[in-house]
């Protein structure tokens, strides 16, 4: 049965789920929506924000639950190792990236892009229903303050998030210092995928499944920070994962 993945096109948590489904070659159809209107769909299925996966009578409203479900549906022991010790390590890293890295890359990237409503609309529109695409320009005076309020975006919180992202990259630099190619064990796992996907708003990898602008299209401060992060071991690691493991990109 073909799954339905409810997204906002630019969401990095949606990119995490989309990448997993693509990598596992699990049949699905993406149903993208613009901000605010997406809640008409997610709330109907018991979720808050995106992603939401509808599959086989089940409704999964968390990106990690989506990855666990997809992995099991595709035979298991692919994104999540069967070995209990390795599985614990994958789970711990995924939780950390979900609750720390993803929160701060989102706030920092939004803060850079919210002033450019034209660029913001382009990110939010890919594949959405025609009526939503027509409504979004009229809704932007509501969307921008709603995003600022939801993620508590201020100059002070933006700078704190920039520093937290750098700290997470520093921590991963230390983990990668032993020369490992993957974060846990000898092969690609949900830990690797989650780091790369949730780092994507700060790195802007060209292979990303989310419609992010290129480095030459963003404000100078965002470009400079992305270049700094790309130069770290963690940044090079994420870019390599995108180049080697981001299969079946939209």
The class (CATH top level) of 3-73 is alpha beta
pLDDT at 32 exceeding the cut of 90 = yes
Question: What pLDDT is attached to residue 250?
Answer: 56
Question: What pLDDT is attached to residue 1?
Answer: 84
pLDDT at 176 exceeding the cut of 80 = yes
Same CATH fold assignment for domains 3-73 and 84-245: no
Cα–Cα distance for residue pair 114/103, rounded to 1 Å: 16
Question: What pLDDT is attached to residue 47?
Answer: 82
Residues 6+ apart with CB under 8 A from 36: 139, 142, 143, 146
Query: What mean pLDDT is predicted for residues 150-177?
Result: 98
Question: What pLDDT is attached to residue 92?
Answer: 98
| Domain range annotation of the chain | 3-73, 84-245
Could you tell me the pLDDT band of residue 229, with boundaries at 50, 70 and 90? very high
User: SS3 letters for the chain?
Assistant: CCEEEEECCCCHHHHHHHHHHHHHCCCEEEEECCCCCHHHHHHHHCCCCCCEEEECCEEECCHHHHHHHHHHHCCCCCCCCCCHHHHHHHHHHHHHHHHHHHHHHHHHHHHHHCCCHHHHHHHHHCCCCHHHHHHHHHHHHHHHHHHHHHCCCCHHHHHHHHHHHHHHHHHHHHHHCCCCCCCCCCCCCHHHHHHHHHHHHHHCCCCCCCCCCCHHHCCHHHHHHHHHHHCCHHHHHHHHHHHHHCCCCC
Question: What pLDDT is attached to residue 97?
Answer: 98
Could you tell me the pLDDT band of residue 249, with boundaries at 50, 70 and 90? low
Please name the fold of domain 84-245: Glutathione S-transferase Yfyf (Class Pi); Chain A, domain 2 (1.20.1050)
Each residue's pLDDT tens digit, 46-67: 888 999 999 999 999 999 999 9
Which backbone phi and psi does 5 adopt, to 5 degrees? Answer: -110, 110
Question: What pLDDT is attached to residue 149?
Answer: 97
Which backbone phi and psi does 7 adopt, to 5 degrees? Answer: -140, 170
Could you tell me the pLDDT band of residue 45, with boundaries at 50, 70 and 90? confident
């Amino acid at each position: 049965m073909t799954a339905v993945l409810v997204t906002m096109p630019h969401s990095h948590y949606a990119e995490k789920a989309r990448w997993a489904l693509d990598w596992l070659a699990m049949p699905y159809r993406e149903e993208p929506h613009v901000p605010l209107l997406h809640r008409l769909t997610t709330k109907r299925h018991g979720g808050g924000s995106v992603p939401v996966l509808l599959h086989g009578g089940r409704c999964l409203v968390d990106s990690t639950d989506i990855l666990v479900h997809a992995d099991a549906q595709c035979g298991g022991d692919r994104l999540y190792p069967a070995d209990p010790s390795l599985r614990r390590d994958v789970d711990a890293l995924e939780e950390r990236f979900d609750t720390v890295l993803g929160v701060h890359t989102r706030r920092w990237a939004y803060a850079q892009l919210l002033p450019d409503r034209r660029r913001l609309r382009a990110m939010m529109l890919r594949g959405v229903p025609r009526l939503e695409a027509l409504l979004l320009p009229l809704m932007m005076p509501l969307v921008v303050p709603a995003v600022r309020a939801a993620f508590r975006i201020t100059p002070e919180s933006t700078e704190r998030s920039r520093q937290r992202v750098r700290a997470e990259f520093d921590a991963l630099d230390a983990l990668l210092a032993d020369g490992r190619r993957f974060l846990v064990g000898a092969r690609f796992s949900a830990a690797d995928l989650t780091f790369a996907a949730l780092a994507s708003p700060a790195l802007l990898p060209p292979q990303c499944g989310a419609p992010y602008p290129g480095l030459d299209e963003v404000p100078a401060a965002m470009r400079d920070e992305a270049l700094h992060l790309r130069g770290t071991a963690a940044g090079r690691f994420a870019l390599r994962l995108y180049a080697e493991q981001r299969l079946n990109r939209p």
